[in-house]
Amino acid sequence: MRIADRYDAFLFDLDGVLFREAEPIPGAAEVLAELRAAGRGLAFVTNNSSRPPAEVGAHLRALGIAADPTEVVTSAQATGELLAEQGVGTAYVLGEAGLRVALAEAGVGIVDGEPERVDAVVVGLDRAVTYERLRIAGELVQRGARLVASNADASFPAPGGVTWPGAGAIVAAIETATGVRAEVVGKPHAPLFRMALGRAGGVRPLVVGDRLDTDVAGAAALGWDAALVLTGVTTAEEAARADPPATYVLEDLRGLLLDPGA
C-alpha cells in the first residue's frame, strides 16, 4: 500500500519540502495534485512568520501548486491567537508583514519607536533587523516584557543548498543579551499542528517536513506519523540517528506515492 493511501490528511511544511525560496522542488506540484484528486485533505503549515497566508498561497500557485489561503497556517497566526487569549495588549515586534498583520488582526497593539514598556516582545523572521532594534527589544525584556517567539528555527533552506539565519538566530541574540528564555509558539509545539489539522480535516494526519526538531518531534509528541524529506536541511545520516525517528524517510515528496514495503 502506498503511503498516500494510509492517511486522510497531509500537513505540509513549505521551505525545504515544496520549494527553496523561489525554486520549486521537483515533483512537489504533481504529488499534491494527485493527493487532491484522491480526496485527501491538505494544509500548508509553516513556522515562517514573515508572510500573510494570502501571500503564501500566491507564492505556491506561482510554483504550480494549487493552494487556497484558508489552507495556509502560519506560526504568526498561532502566535496572535495565543497572545490574544492570554490578554496581551501591546507588543514590540521584530518581524515582517505576516507577523505584524496576524498580531493586529488578533487585537494585539503593535508599538514601534522606543517605548518604555510593552506587554511582550514578539520575535519572528526579520530580514531587516538592526542592532538598534535588537537593543530596544532587549531593554524591554529587561524591564519586564515577555519574550515570545513565533518560532525558533535557527535557519531555513536557501537556493544553492545553503541555509540562511532564521527567527531562532534573532531570538538567540536577545536571549543571550538578557538571560531570558523565549516562549516559543510554533512547531514543534502543538497549537500550530492542531490548527493545521482543523483546516485540512480528517482524523489520520501525516506530517510532512524536512526538520527533525520541529516537524518530526512535533508529530511524535501528538502521536502522529511523520514523513521526513531529504530536500531540505536534514541529511540521511542525521535521519538515521534521529530520536524520535521519522515514520518514513523520503528522498522527496514523490515517495508518498510509493509503497515503502515494496
Residue 158 confidence (pLDDT)? 80
Residues 90 and 180 in one domain: yes
Residue 22 confidence (pLDDT)? 80
Residue 75 confidence (pLDDT)? 95
Would 207 be classed as within a structural domain?
A: yes
Would 64 be classed as within a structural domain?
A: no
Would 253 be classed as within a structural domain?
A: yes
User: Do you know the residue count of the chain?
Assistant: 262
Residue 149 confidence (pLDDT)? 96
Count: domains in the chain: 2
Residues 143 and 213 in one domain: no
Alpha-carbon distance of 214 to 47, in angstroms, equals: 9
Residue 261 confidence (pLDDT)? 78
Residue 248 confidence (pLDDT)? 98
3-state SS, residue 172: helix
pTM (predicted TM-score): 0.84
Residue 155 confidence (pLDDT)? 87
Given 184, 207, 240, which residue is the final one in a domain?
184
Residues in contact with 106: Cβ distance below 8 Å, sequence separation at least 6, in sequence order = 80, 81, 83, 84
Contact 10, 206 (CB under 8 A): yes
Residues 179 and 212 in one domain: no
Please give the average pLDDT of every successive group of 10 residues along the chain, which has 262 residues: 97 93 90 96 93 93 93 95 94 97 97 98 97 98 98 84 91 98 94 92 96 95 98 95 97 95 74
Residue 110 confidence (pLDDT)? 98
Residues 179 and 210 in one domain: no
Domain hosting residue 200, numbered range: 3-47+187-257
* Burial profile 236-252: b = 16 or more Cβ within 10 angstroms, e = fewer: eeebeebeeebbbbbeb
Active site residues: 13, 15
Given 184, 203, 224, which residue is the final one in a domain?
184
Residue 73 confidence (pLDDT)? 94
Alpha-carbon distance of 166 to 191, in angstroms, equals: 20
CB count, 10 Å around CB of 203? 9
Residues 92 and 7 in one domain: no
Q: How many helices (H) and strands (E) does the chain have?
A: 9, 15
CATH number at residue 8: 3.40.50.1000
Contact 216, 244 (CB under 8 A): yes
